[in-house]
Amino acid sequence: MLEIAYELGSFALQNGAETGGWDPEAAQHLASAAAAIAVGLAALGSGYAERGIGAAAVGAMAEDEDLFVRGLILTVIPETLVILALVVVFLV
């Protein structure tokens, strides 16, 4: 992941040096790539959090079926991170 960020930064610096300033098209591509990386990392973090929460929720529901709603709500909470990341993408 760091290699991708390094390559994007190098591309931006080389393009700026060649043209004597920032190219608006290149800046838009760079912003789109940064937004894609942000959404990808948010989805990765959300999936990692849901892994533990989902396992605990299924275990709790196996013992007591009344915990279904609470387990469902706790499983959905990390997914809001991805939704907020998508909102940021559309704002950029």
pLDDT tens readout for residues 4-13 = 666 766 776 6
Identify the pLDDT of residue 8: 67
Tell me the percentage of the chain whose pLDDT exceeds 90.
17
Residue 18 pLDDT greater than 70, yes or no: no
E strand residue ranges, the chain: none
Identify the pLDDT of residue 81: 82
Q: Average of pLDDT values for 50-76?
A: 91
Identify the pLDDT of residue 5: 64
Give the DSSP H or E segment for 45: helix 24-63
| Number of domain units in the chain | 1
Cα–Cα nearest to 85, from 38, 48, 46, 34: 38
Q: Is the pTM of this model over 0.75?
A: no
**CB-CB contact of 82 with 43 (8 Å):** yes
Which residues span the domain enclosing 10? 2-91
